[in-house]
Amino acid sequence: MNRIEMAEQIASRVPILAERDHKEWRETEERRRKFVADYTLRKIAQMRRDDFVIGKGSGNRSLCYRLERELDKCGRILGAPASKFGVYYGKTKSDRRERYRHAAHWGNSYSQAFDSIKAALVQLLDAARIGDLAAIKEYKIFPMFKGKLLFLYYPHKFAPIYSKHHLEHFVSELNLPGTFDFEVAMQQALMEYRSTWPELTS
Q: What is the pLDDT at residue 59?
A: 78
What does the pLDDT look like over 83-106, one tens digit per residue? 899 999 988 888 888 889 999 999
Mean of the per-residue pLDDT values of the chain: 93
What does the pLDDT look like over 98-127, one tens digit per residue? 889 999 999 999 999 999 999 999 999 999
Window from 5-9, 113-117, 154-158, 197-201 with minimum mean pLDDT: 197-201
Domain boundaries, the chain: 3-200
Region of residue 176 (phi > 0: left; psi between -120 and 50: alpha; otherwise: beta): beta
Task: Reply yes or no on whether the pLDDT at 202 is more than 70.
Answer: yes
Which of 98-112, 151-165, 173-187 has the largest mean confidence? 151-165
Q: What is the pLDDT at residue 97?
A: 86
Q: What is the pLDDT at residue 81?
A: 85
* Sequence-separated contacts (24+) of 114-120 with Cβ below 8 Å: 114/49, 114/52, 114/87, 116/86, 117/52, 117/85, 117/86, 117/87, 117/141, 118/44, 118/45, 118/47, 118/52, 119/45
Q: What is the pLDDT at residue 58?
A: 67
pTM value surpassing 0.85: yes
